[in-house]
Amino acid sequence: MVIMTTTSTHAFLPVLERIAEELEHTPGRGRAADYIPALAACDPRTFGMAVAELDGTVYGVGEWQQPFSSQSITKVFTLALDLAREGDELWEHVGREPSGNPFNSLVQLEYENGIPRNPFINAGALVVTDRLQTRTGDAAGELLDFLRAESGNPALDFDQEVAASETTYGDRNAALAHFMASYGNIDNEVPVLLDQYFRQCSIAASCADLALATGFLARHGIRADGTRLLSRSQAKQVNAVMLTCGTYDAAGDFAYRVGLPGKSGVGGGIIAVVPGRCTLCVWSPGLDERGNSVAGVAALDRFTTLTGLSVF
């Protein structure tokens, strides 16, 4: 085992290069999401990985500068933006517990009177987007501005093809939104909310962009420009929910293997946080049966093993 103890710039680059080389020879990389046609054509063996240090230094391997569909990764940033505005009141409308069910399940909502288990399943993300929409008038636009600022990339944008594809195949999300609205847990008109949510999920960004944008969680709530978005306690809350709920109904296995707060998306990306040290993003479109990148989880597993960095 190679344990990295140095704090010099690019200290992690040899680790990333080793991980990429190991994965190159690994068979069985899963399959791209096929229920969103715009994602189905992605090569499941594509791989990129980036690390961003606290000062904004970022480096990577493979296709680490290639934009991809962020999908559910964006739920982390929408959660942070809303939590910064309304604080603990948010948790009256969405829980903080793992779901144990698929990310688009309707079953649990009826048992729990329209209150989603956590902000990272689709129902919970719809609630958070709805509340941010009420407070800003343009939740997706607010998110895009934030990601552009934190990544330093003003070219980040929505992928209109992906957004249109999700709208066409969005009946399950519409059902979730209408069901929660029947319990009074949605403020905005459902078509408005769905438009905001699908645009949010369609944002295309690279591993470098997303690793940099996640940096505020490693800096305990401090943004790239030095201003504070979240209190230290709130940053801890977001990281905790990422650890326990960030990889759908495989969060326990992810915590066991990787040992870091993380959030995956069906575009094949996963972000992860080493508090006080760095942030990571890995991308490989081949997914397992639970919707997480096969190579992405393996890469983060190897990273924490080789560096000795985890929250445990």
pLDDT tens digit sequence for 42-89 = 888 999 999 999 999 999 999 999 999 999 999 999 999 999 999 999
Distance separating alpha carbons of residues 37 and 28, to the nearest angstrom: 22
Per-residue pLDDT at 107 exceeds 80 = no
Task: Count helices and strands (H / E) in the chain.
Answer: 14, 8
Under a CB-based contact definition with an 8 Å cutoff, are residues 283 and 268 in contact? yes
Q: Is the pLDDT of residue 307 over 90?
A: yes
The pLDDT tens digits of the residues spanning 181-237 come to 999 999 999 999 999 999 999 999 999 999 999 999 999 999 999 999 999 999 999
What 8-state DSSP symbol labels residue 222? B
Whether 36 shows a pLDDT value over 90: the answer reads no
- For residues 212-236, one letter each, b for 16 or more C-beta atoms within 10 angstroms of the residue's C-beta and e for the rest, the string is bbbbbbbbbbbbbeeeebbeeebbb
Residues 45-56 pLDDT 10s: 999 999 999 999
For residue 304, the SS3 value is: helix
Q: How far apart are CA 292 and CA 222, in angstroms?
A: 28
Instruction: Please list the active-site residues.
Output: 72, 75, 197, 248, 266
At 306, list the tokens: 């080789």
> Could you give the CA distance from residue 205 to residue 195 in angstroms, rounded to a whole number?
19
Cα–Cα distance list, 143 to 125, 153, 202, 212 (Å): 13, 13, 12, 15
Residue 6 banded pLDDT, cuts 50, 70, 90:
very low
What is d(CA 174, CA 165) in angstroms, rounded to the nearest whole number?
Answer: 14
In the sheet that holds 157-158, the strands lie side by side as: 68-69, 203-205, 157-158
The shares of helix, strand and coil residues in the chain, as percent rounded to the nearest 5, are 50, 10, 40
Pairwise pLDDT comparison (165 vs 270), residue with the higher score: 270
